[in-house]
Every structure is written in structure tokens, then in C-alpha cells.
Amino acid sequence: MYPKMTKELADKKAALAPQNVEAWRNFSKTVFKAGALDEKTKQLIAVAIAHVTQCPYCIKAHTPQAIRKGASKEEIMEAVWVASEMRAGAAYAHANIAMEEMEKY
């Protein structure tokens, strides 16, 4: 369903906007460096967010990164469950908008 990510494809995209890609890569490196949060925690957050945003490329990139940074399979799955709850919770919270509209009728 999605094109396979290859170096050739990445190079083609980068060639179309080299300054943007360089800035984004530097931003990404900075964001994922250890700071107040360690690198493993940042990768677990990325895995969870990748599931909420439903980005298959992000899931494929950040899941192995989380493992390389020391996350267990159980921690990764727990992060996915947290993401699932947050996504479901948001849908339920937005029911307030539907309730408001229903009250008009």
C-alpha cells in the first residue's frame, strides 16, 4: 500500500528541497538527544505518537530505535496501548461537540 522507503527515494526527495531536509535532520537529531528525557523514553513517545498519527514509516523507524535505546517489547507494546487509549479518549471527549449540536434540536 505504501512505497518502500529506500535510500534512492530519500535522496530524490532531499534533492528537491536540500536546505529543508538538512534543517529537518538537524532538528530531529537535536530532539532525540538525551536531555530531561533519556533517549529510550523519547523513542517510546515517538512510537506511541506514530501510532496515533498512523504513520507506518514512523512506526517502522522508531520501533527499532526504541529497541536499540534499550526498550523492551513489553514497554513498546505498553506505549502503543497508551496511544490507543489517548486516541479513543479524544474521540469520546469530542462527543461533547455532538452533544452540544444534539441539544439544539
Residue 1 pLDDT: 81
Q: Where are the domains of the chain?
A: 20-103
**pLDDT tens digit string along 66-91?**
999 999 999 999 999 999 999 999 99
pLDDT, the chain, mean: 96
Confidence bin at 54 (pLDDT 50/70/90): very high
State the cell numbers at 100.
452540544
CATH tag, 20-103: 1.20.1290.10
Q: What is the mean pLDDT of residues 4-32?
A: 96
**C-beta of residue 31 within 8 angstroms of C-beta of residue 42:** yes
Residue type, 98: A
**What is the pTM assigned to this prediction?**
0.87
How far from 95 is each of 53, 91, 98, 104, CA to CA, in Å? 20, 7, 5, 15
Helix (H) or strand (E) holding 41: helix 39-53
Give the model's pLDDT for residue 2: 87
